[in-house]
Structure 1
Amino acid sequence: MMSSDGDYITPDEIKNALELLDKDEIASKKRLTAFSSQWHTVINEVDSVSKQFSSLNSLKENLFQIQTRINDSSKLAEDISSKVRQLDKIRGRVSECQKRVQDLLDLQLCSEGVQIAMKNDELEQAAAHVHRYLSIDQTKLQRTADDMAQDCSMITNALKHLQDATELLQNTVSKRFEQASLTQDSKSIERYFKIFPLLGMHDIGLEKFVDYLGRVLQVSADKNLKNVMETSLSSNRASIVFADGLTFVFEEVAKTIEVQQPLIETHYGPEYIFKFLSHLQMHCDNFSNVLLQTFLKTRKIKELLKNLWDESDLNIDKPDSKDIDLLIEEIVLILARYDLYSKFVCKRINADLESKTSSAKLILNNSKLCCSVQELMGKYLEFERYYMEESIKKAMMMDTIEGDDDALTSSMVDDVFFIIRKCVMRSLRSGSLDVLCAVINNAVNALETDMCTFFGQILSAGYPGSGYFNRFTPDLEKIRQTFLASLNNTEVAIEYSKSLSQTFREEIPIKLYDCNTDKLDSCLQDFSRVNASLVTSNRNGFRQLQCSLVEPKLLAWMEPFYEQNYKMNESEFTQTEADNPFVQTLILNVDGLLREFKAKLTSNNYDVLVVALAAESSVQLEKAVMKTEFNRLGSMALDKVVRTLINYFSGASAWPIREKFARLVQITTVLNLERVSDLNEFLSPDSGMRFSWKLTPDSIKQILKLRSDFREDEIRKIKL
């Protein structure tokens, strides 16, 4: 037998192939058996599907019938729609034809009616016919006649008659209106005024009517100006007579608008209100400007403004602030009346007009009156600034400490902030946010340059102590009192400034129409500059007080500390613990000083003084301690001194005091160690004190050396 590597198959390979064929045969028989067992099920499913196909055939027939009906309905709808469009077109032509016929009839009636009405002097009836004629499209009339193949002579004659009648009627109404206005015949004026819009003469009629109203107002304005000029100086309203006069002009114009607006809206239409107000405002400008120019001349505004800031001629007397105050009140009243009038005009613009506010503002902003008022606002700001600055200077010159010698503040702070509030709230009446912000800026500058500088100069001069040279200073007590009053004034002024700024922030938006709160807040932020300047002056004053009073006194009161022995035995420690003359005397002296100043300082400044005394006591006592030797008992006595001082100062003020003694407490802690090695417990991370130490390593070693019972070599071994 040949090997498997030749061309012949081996018996093993044949055997394996036969086994595979047997397995495939068995599997095939199993599948055939399974298929044959499912044959009846397959036959049933085929029958079911066949039945469903038969039902689908009937459904197909139904769908075909529906499609046919839809197509028929669609064709029918298109036919109907086409006929409807034709009917609409025919109806439109019929309507147009009817309108042309009606226009022809109206044209004939108007032509005949105008002639009859003119003969009977029935102007309203004639104007109604002309109005109907003007509303007809004449080109369509001609085209109608051509389309009807008729002679156009009838239409041409009617048109000619109506055109001639229109011109005649327009001339007649214009002339009769002029005659009625000359004779002040109000009924005839109103009658002819109503006819103008019927003749298409809206603008002409409105202009003539406003001219008539202007002449009527002119009479009242002249009479008003005469009354103003003849007002006696002894009259109660002599100081505001021009404001009253301008108010009268505004009221007369407002009454005219209020009375005539319904007439114009009814017969001319709401769109003509704007033109009416524009024309009438021109007359208002003339009346108002005459009065304002007379006001400027009579009150000598130009001369006063020149003298306010003129420093070249020293012989010129500056205007008195009281007189300027009266003048400012009248100017502000004028501005307030103008603001009220402008709001009235805004309201009278018809609500149907778009952008009614902008339209009203357009009328006023383009007027001569607005320009004059803006110029007057500029003059008002100059007068207000002068009054404010002069009044503040007077308040500083007349500054007094009212009452007894222990008064906390002087009169200046109340006076200055009263003046500031008065000026700002007065500017609010002008109705202009720009004017208000300008006055606030002037107020901030005045507070900075005058009041803050005044306090700064007094506090920078220092508090005179009790030294040898100070005994020869005249009015020493008065200088001290002035210093302390200024110190209190700065603290009170800070509160006033914050309160005033907040008050403005709350009240102004309520009282000022259409207030821009962002702009107002930005302006009021400038009060922070005043507060910062006052805080700087206050701190500088306390530095001066500390240098001239606190430090010298505490330095003297610390002298007994050096006389006491802190290397104590048991008996000395017991006696010192029961009665320590140093700390008792120190507290007695400090308490006496605080009692003296408590009645002279505000509560806040008093607390600042207590803190300053506490801080300086700690510093001075630390210096004394660093020059003294201690043993264990002496360190315990020092700890009692420090704790006694802390308890005293903590009870003297509501402010935290312990922080001022932090270094001193740590010094006594180091001095009270039993052994030098005990310091490692405080310096370990687990002690919780490592990061709160205020003493440097060199300072700690120096403090350890103050203990006479600690050895030098043990101190050197400490690792800090």
Structure 2
Amino acid sequence: MQPFLGSKFDVNALSNIEDVRAAFELLCREEDKVGHELDEVLDKQTGLDSRLKAVTALTPELGDVKSEGRRLSGLICHTALLAEKVSAKVRQLDLAKSRVAECQQRVHDLIDLRRCSEGVTLALQEEDYEQAAAHIHRFLGMDEGVLRLTSRDLEKSEGEEQKKSSSLDLSLATLHQAENKVRGIVNRRFDEAVNAEDLASIERFFKIFPLINLHSVGLNKFTLYLRGKLAAANKDNLKQALETGPGDKRFNVIFADTLTLLFEGIARIVEIHQPLIETYYGPGRMTTVLGLLQEECDRQAEKIFREFKKRRGIQDKVNKVREVHLGKVKEENKLQARDLDTILGEMTLLQARVEMYFRFVRKRCLADIEVSETGGSETVEKMLTTSDLNRIAQDSLGDYILLEHFFMSENIAKLYLQIRAIALLKNFIVNILELVFVQFILFCLFCFQVFQNQMKLGFPSTYLDQAYTVIQSSLQGKLGAPSDSERQKQLFLAYLNNTESGTEYLTRLQNSVQMDTSVLSASLNPKQAEKIQNCLSGMISVNDRLKIVLDTGMAALRTAVVKPRLKPWIDSFTTIPHNINDEQYSEFEANDPFVQGLIVNLDGLLNTFKIGLTTGNYERFVMLVAGEVTLQLEKAVMKTSFSRLGGLQFDKEVRSLSSYLTSVTTWTIRDKFSRLVQISSVLNVETLQEVSEFSGSQSVSSWKLAPAEVNLSMNKQVQISEHPGSDLRTSRLRSLNI
């Protein structure tokens, strides 16, 4: 334990000279520190004295400040007290004013009550029902309890309690009696006007209903009248449609026209009467009116769809199609696709009209809800989705999908049978199928736009799957066929071209449809958008499967044509010496014994297939040939010995091949020759250090050769393989990070 800590230590504990010296040094340091602090304090004395003098000079003024502060505090307290008194009086005045205004309103109500009582009696005698309703409307805006309380207060002040009370009760009884009488008269006279088809009287009494607080009754009666007019008009239209003969130019769409007239009638009713309803009944009533009209629309639309199915034989055709799917119908008794063409068109128009009507209803209801700030879009959607019209349209849509599926399937099958014999014509099948695809996709897109993609999931992909199956089965049938027949070769190439063109057309159609349907994204809910994506995914799936078929066909070409042709041409490389001297190198430079002949043979092979292949397939074929050439040539190199001049000769051969193949294709082909180029570079080095320098200049991703492959390539270089240090090559290569 130390005998001291800081400046505090026990002198008696200092037992040796070292402790005494340490204590002395500590005390000296503390003395210096204290002296330094004292010097600093003394240096500040002058400044402190001057500041204290300034403060001392302000002392007389502090007394004045204190007195002024007290005076200001008193003034503020007095002002606050005065303001509180004034505000209390203002509150009293406001309360008195509000009570006076309330009292005046009560007195005015009593005066208006007497006037209304007298005025309604006179108006009823003169059959001025508008004026009578106005008096009753004013009376209904009063509070009877407040009126009786006000009357009682006035009676007490005037001392005529019995007389005033009987007068008030008489006025109230008169107005209640008049209210019931006016309501009865208005209801009766409105019904009489409806029966008499008196439009002026109908509108006259329709305007009176809200004045007597019968908003719902007035709307129900008026809407019932409009529904009667709508039903009568639709009956005449449907009768005229049924009498239309087959010779009429609108015969094939007559039921779609009839449904259109029904919806136009509803739209006309809304356009004409919406201002009247909003003026006298206030905003927020159109949703109720459209809901009542929707009930009549459901009944009338059901009649139209029923007659459509009956006259067009929809159910019979649906049953026949189902029997075809079950295999219960013979070929000669099967329904013909041409019989469905016009029917499908009319069914599409029916769906289009329904969707157009739903959009109209949504727009009017949402606009009305926005103005009135009552209700919500959920109410409108529920009204439409639960309506009988939506149910009928969905049932019709189910029939349409079944018939359309059968129609497109039959057309594809017949089209394939008709043009199968002339499949040698380049792209003929796929060009025709593309026209069908375009018409069908545009047709489906039209359906998406008119009823927001209510078609069932999977229909487009099912149709495309059939086209894919046709091409795939044909192509697979030709892959295993013997190749000695020129016709079979041409058929194989034709189907291969059809597959490539099919992928191109599907990609183009997919992009086009996605662009066209993107305009619908703002009006679609997530579920509807998901349906569109599911439909488009069918195209993607078929496109991927066609690409697999295309790859299979190209692999068959490689096995049956490219490899057998290239093998003898490349094998000749091993018969040509590459361990050459200067004289042989000069001779090879003047007249190359290998690469010139190979290029001529490759040119002949490529020109043979260029005529029969599409541009895309020809590019793929060139890449296929290039890949096979590099693969087989690399194998041949590993069977050959090279001198350094032979390595230079091989480098020239590789560059000549790469330049030629690059000239016959627009695709990049340099990557195919990267391994051969690196092998030729290795064959041209003289020392291991050159290999290190060369590989070091290449990025990791661009260097294709493994250390073992570099070692094998260097073994083919005679000068390096005979070098005394060749046994240490592998370890040296690893140490050089190759």
Percent identity reads 33
Gap change, CA 1:513 and 1:333, over 3 Å in 2? farther
8 Å CA contact 1:409–1:488 kept in 2: the answer is: no
Change (3 A) 1:138 1:556: same
Residue 540 (structure 1) shift = 0.8
The answer as to 2:684 corresponding to 1:684 is no
Q: Is 1:481 matched up with 2:501?
A: no
Aligned to 2:328: 313
Q: Does 1:159 align with 2:172?
A: yes
What one-letter code is carried by the residue in structure 1 that aligns with 2:392? S
Matched, 1:93 2:99: yes
Instruction: Give me the whole-angstrom Cα distance separating, in 2, the residues matched to 1:630 and 1:217.
Output: 99
Decide whether the 8 Å contact of 1:566 with 1:629 is kept in 2.
yes
* Residue matched to 2:308: 295
What is the CA distance between 1:412 and its match in structure 2?
4.4
C-alpha contact 2:109 2:147 (8 A) present in aligned 1: yes
Quote the residue 1:346 is aligned against: 362
Q: Which of 388, 393, 417 matches 1:368?
A: 388
Displacement of 1:222 in angstroms is 0.4
Cα pair 1:487 1:541 within 8 Å, conserved? yes
Q: Compute the displacement of 1:197 (Å).
A: 1.4
- Confirm or deny that 1:540 pairs with 2:540: no
Q: Offset of 1:614 from its aligned partner? A: 2.2
> SS of 1:271's equivalent?
coil
Q: For residues 156-185 of structure 1, give each alpha carbon's deviation from its aligned partner in whole angstroms, at most 9, with x where no partner exists.
A: 111112212221221111111111111101
Secondary structure at the counterpart of residue 191 of structure 1: helix
Question: Contact conserved, 1:401 with 1:411, CA < 8 A, in 2?
Answer: no
Pairing 1:373-384 to 2, within 5 Å after superposition: 373-384=393-404
Q: Which whole-Å CA distance do the structure 2 matches of 1:495 and 1:541 have between them?
A: 16
Q: Name the residue aligned to 1:697.
A: 708
Q: Is the 8 A contact 2:682 2:714 kept in 1?
A: yes
Partners of 2:409 and 2:341 in 1: CA distance: 12
1:276 matches 2:285: no
1:332 to 2:348 alignment: yes
Counterpart for residue 19 of structure 2? none
Aligned to 1:422: 442
Q: Secondary structure at the match of 2:372?
A: coil
User: Residues 461 and 571 (structure 1 numbering): CA distance in 2 closer, same or farther, change over 3 Å?
Assistant: farther
What TM-score, normalized by structure 2, do the two folds share? Answer: 0.81
Deviation at 1:637, TM superposition (A): 5.3
| Cα shift readout 1:395-451 (whole Å, capped 9, x = no counterpart) | 43344698985668743442353244233223223331443xx46x4223432x323
User: Which of the numbers 60, 65, 87 marks the counterpart of 1:81?
Assistant: 87
> In the alignment, which residue of structure 2 is the partner of 1:119?
125
Give 1:397's match in structure 2, choosing from 417, 424, 447. Answer: 417
Instruction: Report if the CA contact (8 A) 1:402-1:411 is conserved.
Output: no
What is aligned with 2:463?
446
Separation of aligned partners in 2, 1:563 and 1:693: 27
Task: Tell me: CA distance 1:679–1:405, structure 2 relative to 1, closer, same or farther (3 Å).
Answer: farther
Q: Is 1:606 aligned to 2:606, yes or no?
A: no
What corresponds to 2:604 in structure 1?
Answer: 592
Q: Residue in 2 aligned with 1:9?
A: none
Per-residue deviation at 1:55? 3.7
Pairing 1:648–2:660 present: yes
Give how far 1:546 is off: 1.0
Which AA in structure 2 matches 1:393?
Answer: A
Deviates more, 1:520-529 or 1:543-552: 520-529
Could you tell which deviates more after superposition, 206-215 or 403-412? 403-412
Structure 2 counterpart of 1:123, one-letter code: Y
What residue identity is the alignment partner of 2:281? Y
Matched, 1:142 2:148: yes
Alpha-carbon distance in structure 1 between the residues aligned to 2:189 and 2:322: 59
Q: How far did residue 697 of structure 1 move?
A: 3.4
| Structure 1 residues 409 and 554, CA gap change in structure 2 (3 angstroms) | farther
- Counterpart of 2:460, as a letter, is A
CA contact (8 A) 1:628 1:706 kept: no
How many residues get paired?
Answer: 671
Q: How does 1:189-338 map to 2 (within 5 A)?
A: 189-310=202-323, 311-315=326-330, 317-338=333-354
8 Å contact 2:430–2:502 — kept in the other structure? no
Structure 1 residues 119-150: Cα deviation after superposition (integer angstroms, max 9, x where no partner): 12211121111212222211122222222232
Deviation at 1:263, TM superposition (A): 1.0
> What CA RMSD, in Å, does the superposition of the two structures yield over aligned residues?
3.8
Q: 1:550 aligned to 2:565?
A: no
Q: Answer yes or no: is the 8 Å Cα contact 1:459–1:544 preserved in 2.
A: no
Question: Aligned to 2:284, what secondary structure does the other structure show?
Answer: helix
Distance 1:55 1:707 in 2: 113
Cα deviation, residue 557, structure 1: 3.7
Aligned partner (choices 182, 198, 213) of residue 185 of structure 1: 198
Q: Is the 8 A contact 2:423 2:494 kept in 1?
A: no
Q: Aligned partners of 1:75, 1:129: CA distance in 2, in Å?
A: 53
Deviation, structure 1 residue 227: 1.2
Paired letter, 1:70 = I
Corresponding residue for residue 105 of structure 1: 111
TM-score (norm 1): 0.83
Q: 1:112 to 1:52 in 2, by over 3 A?
A: same
Cross-structure match for 1:531: 543
CA distance 1:87–1:315, shift in 2 (3 Å): same
The Cα offsets for residues 242-267 of structure 1, whole Å up to 9 and x where unpaired, read as 11111000000111111111111111
Distance 2:115 2:304 in 1: 55
The one-letter code of the counterpart of 2:549 is S
Is residue 2:628 matched to residue 1:616?
yes
Could you tell me which runs of 5 or more consecutive residues in structure 2 were left unpaired when the two chains were aligned: 1-11, 13-34, 732-738
Q: Distance in 2 between matches of 1:577 and 1:238?
A: 84
Whole-Å separation in 1 of the counterparts to 2:350 and 2:546: 37
**Preserved contact between residue 177 and residue 193 of structure 1 (Cα < 8 Å):** yes
Note if contact 2:352-2:447 (Cα within 8 Å) is conserved in structure 1. Answer: no
Structure 2 counterpart SS, 1:656: coil
* Distance in 1 between residues matched to 2:174 and 2:590, nearest whole Å: 132
Q: AA paired with 2:524? A: C
The letter of the residue matching 1:381 is: I
Deviating more after overlay: 324-333 vs 166-175: 324-333
| Alpha-carbon spacing, 1:423–1:62, altered in 2? closer, same or farther (3 Å) | same
Residues 696 and 164 of structure 1: is their aligned pair in 2 closer, same or farther, counting only changes over 3 Å? same
Q: Which stretch of structure 1 is more off in the superposition, 140-149 or 653-662?
A: 653-662
Q: How many Å separate the matches in 1 of 2:561 and 2:570?
A: 14
Cα distance in 2 for residues equivalent to 1:486 and 1:371: 46
CA separation of 1:213 and 1:593: change in aligned 2, threshold 3 A: same
Distance 1:596 1:686 in 2: 40
**Aligned mates of 2:695, 2:86 — CA distance in 1:** 105
Compared with structure 1, are the counterparts of its residues 374 and 72 closer, same or farther at alpha carbon in structure 2 (3 Å cutoff)? same
